[in-house]
Amino acid sequence: MKKAIHYINQFFAGIGGEELADHKPEIREGLVGPSLALNSVLDGEVTHTIICGDNFMGSNTEEAVKLILGFLEDKEFDIFIAGPAFQAGRYGVACGTIAKAVKEKFNVPVLTSMNEENPGVEMFKKDMHIFKGGKSAAKLRDDVKVMADFANKLLMGEKTGSADEEGFFPRGIRAQVWLENGPIASKRGVDMLIKKLNDEEYISELPIPELDRVEIASPIMDLSKANIALITTGGIVPVNNPDRIQSASATRWGRYDISNDDRLQSGVYKTIHAGFDPAAADADPNVVMPVDAMKAYLKEGKFGKLHKYFYSTVGTGTTQAEAMRMGKEIVEKLREDNVDGVIMTAT
Amino acid sequence: MKLELGNFYVKDVLFGHKTYYKDGILTINKEEAMNFIREDEHIIELDLVIAKPGENTRIVPVKEAVEPRVRPDGRAVFPGVTGDLEMAGMGRLHALKGCSVLGVGMHWGSFGDGLIDMGGEGAKYTLYSQLINICIVANTDEEEERYEQQKKNTAIRMAAHKFAEYLGETVKELEPEEVEVFQLDPVTKRDDDTSKLPSVVLVMQPQSQMEELGYNDLVYGWDMNKYVPSFMNPNEVLDGALISGSFMPSSSKWSTYDFQNFPTIRELYKEHGKSINFLGVIMSNLNVSLEQKKRSALFVAQIAKSLGADGAIVTEEGYGNPDADYILCLAALEDVGVKTVGISNECTGRDGASQPLVTLDVKANALVSTGNVSQLIELPPADKVIGELQALARDGLSGGWAYDEVLGSSVREDGSVIMENNAMFCGDMIAGWSTKTMKEF
Cβ of B435 within 8 Å of Cβ of A174? The answer is no
Predicted local confidence at residue A251, as pLDDT: 84
Mean pLDDT of A105-119: 96
Residue A240 CB contacts under 8 Å (≥ 6 apart), including other chains:
none
What residues of A are in contact with residue B351 (Cβ under 8 Å)? Answer: 173
- Which chain B residue has its CA at the smallest distance from A163's CA? B441
How far apart, in Å, are the Cα atoms of A202 and each of A109, A188, B329? 35, 10, 21
Contacts of B367 in chain A (CB under 8 A): 204-206, 208
Distance CA B302, CA B311 (A): 13
Give the pLDDT band (50/70/90) at residue B54.
very high
The angle, 0 to 180 degrees and rounded to 10, between the axes of the packed helices B154-168 and B30-37 is 130
CB distance B267–A210 less than 8 Å?
no
Whether B388 and B60 have beta carbons less than 8 Å apart is answered as yes
Cα B295 to the center of its chain, rounded Å: 25
Say if strands B2-9 and A254-257 run parallel, antiparallel, or are unpaired. Answer: unpaired
Q: Identity (one letter) of the amino acid at B52?
A: K
- Band (pLDDT 50/70/90 cuts) for residue B243 is very high
CB contact under 8 A, B366 and A202: yes
Strands B132-140 and B43-51: antiparallel
Order across the sheet with B339-346: list the strands.
Answer: B230-232, B277-283, B199-205, B311-316, B339-346, B367-372
DSSP string of A128-185? SEEEE--SSGGGHHHHHHHHHHHHHHHHTT-----HHHHTB---S-EEEEEPTTPPPH
pLDDT at A239 over 90: yes
| Neighbour-count burial of A127, counting CB atoms closer than 10 A to its CB (0-12 exposed, 13-18 middle, 19+ buried) | middle
* Residue B101 to chain A, least CA–CA distance (Å): 24
The residue among A171, A186, A202, A320 with the most chain B CBs within 10 A of its CB, best to mutate, is A186
Cis peptide bond upstream of A84, omega within 30: yes
Q: Tell me the sheet residues that pair with A110.
A: A80
pLDDT of residue B226: 96
Residue B49 has pLDDT above 90, yes or no: yes
Q: Give percent above pLDDT 70 in chain B.
A: 100
Chain A residues whose C-beta is within 8 A of a chain B C-beta are 126, 162-164, 170-179, 182-190, 192-194, 196-198, 202, 204-206, 208-211
Domains of chain B, by residue range, sit at 2-423
Structural domains in chain A plus CATH codes: 3-166 (3.40.50.2300), 223-345 (no CATH)
Across the range B193-198, mean pLDDT stands at: 97
Taking only Cα atoms into account, the Rg of chain A, rounded to an integer number of angstroms, comes to: 25
Cα gap A275→A248, rounded to integer Å:
7
Q: Which ranges constitute the DSSP H helices of B147-289?
A: 154-168, 192-195, 234-238, 256-260, 263-271
How distant is the alpha carbon of residue B64 from its chain centre? Answer: 8
Please tell me the predicted confidence (pLDDT) of residue A249. Answer: 75
Chain A interface, best mutation among B334, B345, B435, B436, by max A CB count within 10 A: B435
Q: What is the pLDDT of residues B314-349, one digit of tens each?
A: 999 999 999 999 999 999 999 999 999 999 999 998
Please give the Cα distance from B79 to B327 (Å, whole number). Answer: 32
- Mutation target for A interface from B341, B351, B375: give the one with most A CBs within 10 A: B341
Q: Percent of chain A scored above 70 by pLDDT?
A: 100
Average pLDDT for chain A: 94
Contact (CB, 8 A) for A35 and A6 = yes
Interchain pair B437, A163: CB under 8 A? no
Give residue A214's pLDDT.
83
- Among B318, B159, B144, B309, which residue's Cα sits nearest to residue B224? B318
The pLDDT score that the predictor gives to residue A101 is 97
> Looking at residues B412-430, what average pLDDT do you find?
97
pLDDT per residue as tens digits for the range A13-33:
999 988 888 999 999 999 999
Predicted confidence (pLDDT) at residue B33 exceeds the cutoff of 80: yes
- pLDDT, average across residues B153-164: 98
**Which amino acid type is present at position B280?**
G
pLDDT band at B356 (very low <50, low <70, confident <90, very high): very high
For residue B182, pLDDT beyond 90: yes
Does the structure show a pLDDT above 90 at B353? no
Q: What is the mean pLDDT of residues B84-88?
A: 97
Is a pLDDT exceeding 80 seen at residue A211? no
- Per residue in B270-302, pLDDT (tens digit) is 999 999 999 999 999 999 999 999 999 999 999
Helix (H, G, I), strand (E, B) or coil at B343: strand
Predicted confidence band of residue A213 (pLDDT cuts 50, 70, 90) = confident
For residue B61, the model assigns a pLDDT of 98
Per-residue pLDDT, averaged over B50-76, amounts to 98
* DSSP-derived secondary structure letter, B151: -
Nearest Cα neighbor of A95 from A63, A48, A127 is A127
Write down the pLDDT at residue A250.
Answer: 84
Provide the 10 A C-beta neighbour count for residue B143: 7
> What are residue A105's phi and psi, to 5 degrees?
-80, -45
Q: Which residue has the higher pLDDT, A17 or A83?
A: A83
Cα–Cα distances in Å, from A145 out to A37, A149, A169, B82, B180?
A: 8, 6, 16, 65, 54
Nearest residue, CB atoms, A174 vs list B275, B421, B439: B439
Q: For residues B388 and A275, what is the distance between their CA atoms, to the nearest angstrom?
A: 41
Please classify residue A231 by burial: count the beta carbons closer than 10 Å to its beta carbon, then call 0-12 exposed, 13-18 middle and 19+ buried: buried
| Chain B CB contacts of A212 below 8 Å | none
Q: For residue B436, which residues of chain A lie inside 8 Å, CB to CB?
A: 176-179, 185
Strand residues in A207-334 grouped as ranges (E): 227-232, 236-238, 254-257, 269-271, 305-312
- Identify the CA nearest to B238 among candidates B315, B194, B189, B183: B183
Q: What is the pLDDT of residues A280-332, one digit of tens each?
A: 999 999 999 999 999 999 999 999 999 999 999 998 877 777 888 899 999 99
Nearest CA in chain B to A181: B435
Res. A180: pLDDT tops 90: no
Among B200, B431, B437, select the one facing A205 at the smallest CB separation.
Answer: B437
- Residue in chain B nearest A199 by alpha carbon: B339
pLDDT of res. A322: 81
First-to-last CA distance in chain A?
Answer: 48
The CA distance from B314 to the nearest CA of chain A, in Å, is 10
A43-52 pLDDT per residue, tens: 999 999 999 9
> Cβ separation of B440 and A205 shorter than 8 Å?
no
- B367–A176 C-beta distance less than 8 A: no
Q: Do A182 and B275 touch (CB under 8 A)?
A: no
Q: What is the pLDDT of residue A182?
A: 85
- pLDDT value of position B406: 92
Whether A219 shows a pLDDT value over 90: the answer reads yes
> What pLDDT is attached to residue B85?
97
pLDDT at A324: 87
Q: What is the pLDDT of residue B1?
A: 95
pLDDT for B100-117, tens place per residue? 999 999 999 999 999 999
pLDDT value, residue A346: 86
Interface test mutation site (partner B, options A126, A188, A190, max chain B beta carbons within 10 A): A190
A174 vs B364, B372, B434: nearest CB: B372
Task: Supply the DSSP string of B249-306, one letter for each residue.
Answer: -GGG---HHHHHT-HHHHHHHHHBTTTBEEEEEEE----SSHHHHHHHHHHHHHHHHH
